[in-house]
Amino acid sequence: MDIEEIKKKYEENITLYNNLGKNVIESLRILLEKADVKFLSIYFRVKETASFIEKIERKSYENPLEEIEDICGIRIICYYQKDIVKIIEIIKKEFSIFESQNKETNLEYNQFGYRSHHVIASIKQEWEKAPNFRGLSHLKCEIQVRTILMHAWAEIEHSLAYKTEAQTPTQFRRKLHRISAKLEEADEQFEELKKESESYQNQLIKESKKEIDFEEIELNLDSLQAFMDTNFPKRKKNIEQTGRLLDQMIEYKIDLKKLAEGWKKIKPHFNDIEKEYWKNYPTSYATKWVQAGIARITLDMNYEQFRNRFKSQKYRDQVTSLNKKFLKQ
């Protein structure tokens, strides 16, 4: 097969690879969200024809469409190193795996360089039962998983074009070693900070189950989230919504003690309050509050100054009606 024939065959398959990339990243989004694994982004690219031909000539492939496994490249950028482990486990469970490699293990102890986890995979045969995956199970893709800081290094390294020690001018090597080490250390420190934050929240949850004085607990993102995890454990949580609620509580000078006191009044009537609130909304609306929504309605019903942040008179009247019916105030 000559180059022109290979080129023609490749261009005939580009649409298939684009379909593969598009559908796999959508499936990965669903799988990661279901597993509650946070990520910054997921995207894909299909090699341009010129890049494909250049790789054939550089690597001397005999059967390039079979041998080149990164024609469709998918990249997942996450926040923490432990998330990489979770993501790889999900990929191994859901896809057919041909190769799985942690690029960091290729580095010597004194080397700087590229850190990422690469998986060569294809969709399982049964996926072809879904129309959008039909005819795609014979195609491979390369899935790269890395943290934000790993991604930052890879992009800068690519920009500098220094792939190895031998390619790097001697006077620049020490600086690159230092930068690489700092990024790796920062990844580890973010991981430690995440663990400490989770440990702090767990301790707060334990404390919240006791009779404690909430005046002694600092109001911050972790303590507010721990309060909601303790009191509304079965409701959906969203750390961004928790952050917005925290900002509002700080603005209106409402601390955890006031939130706890308000919830104590609301709790016995909560199920009826929720039903009453949502009964006049269209069925397409949510009919249950998420964690931050429960905390917000608690504050709205108990503290007028907090409720009055809303410009909507309709909402303020609705909360006033709930107060009269359930709290008799």
Kindly report, residue by residue over 155-164, the tens digit of the pLDDT. 776 666 555 5
CA atoms within 13 A on the CB side of 199: 6
Which pLDDT score, from 0 to 100, does residue 62 have? 81
- Residue 146: phi and psi, rounded to 5, are -150, 160
Domains, in order of start, for the chain: 3-186 (3.30.460.10), 211-327 (no CATH)
The confidence score (pLDDT) of residue 128 equals 94
Residue carrying structure tokens 């079979």: 66
Q: What is the pLDDT of residue 182?
A: 85
pLDDT score for 214: 66
Q: What is the pLDDT, as a whole number, of residue 110?
A: 45
Backbone angles phi, psi at 251, to 5 degrees: -60, -40
pLDDT tens, position by position, 232-262: 999 998 889 999 999 999 999 999 999 999 9
Q: Which residues contact 266 (CB under 8 A, 6 or more apart)?
A: 273, 297, 298, 301, 302, 327
Predicted local confidence at residue 264, as pLDDT: 92
In this prediction the pTM is 0.66
**What residues in the chain have per-residue pLDDT under 50?**
109-112
- Residue 87's pLDDT is 96
Tokens of 164: 């190895």
Q: Give dist(CA 261, CA 306) in Å, integer.
A: 15
> Side by side, which strands form the sheet with 72-78?
39-46, 72-78, 141-147, 117-122, 96-102
pLDDT in tens, 64-92: 888 899 999 999 999 999 999 999 999 99
DSSP state of 242: H
Q: What is the mean pLDDT of the chain?
A: 86
Residue 102, sorted as left (phi over 0), alpha (psi -120 to 50) or beta, turns out to be beta
* Token pair for 67: 């041998």
Question: What token pair was written down for 304?
Answer: 């007028």
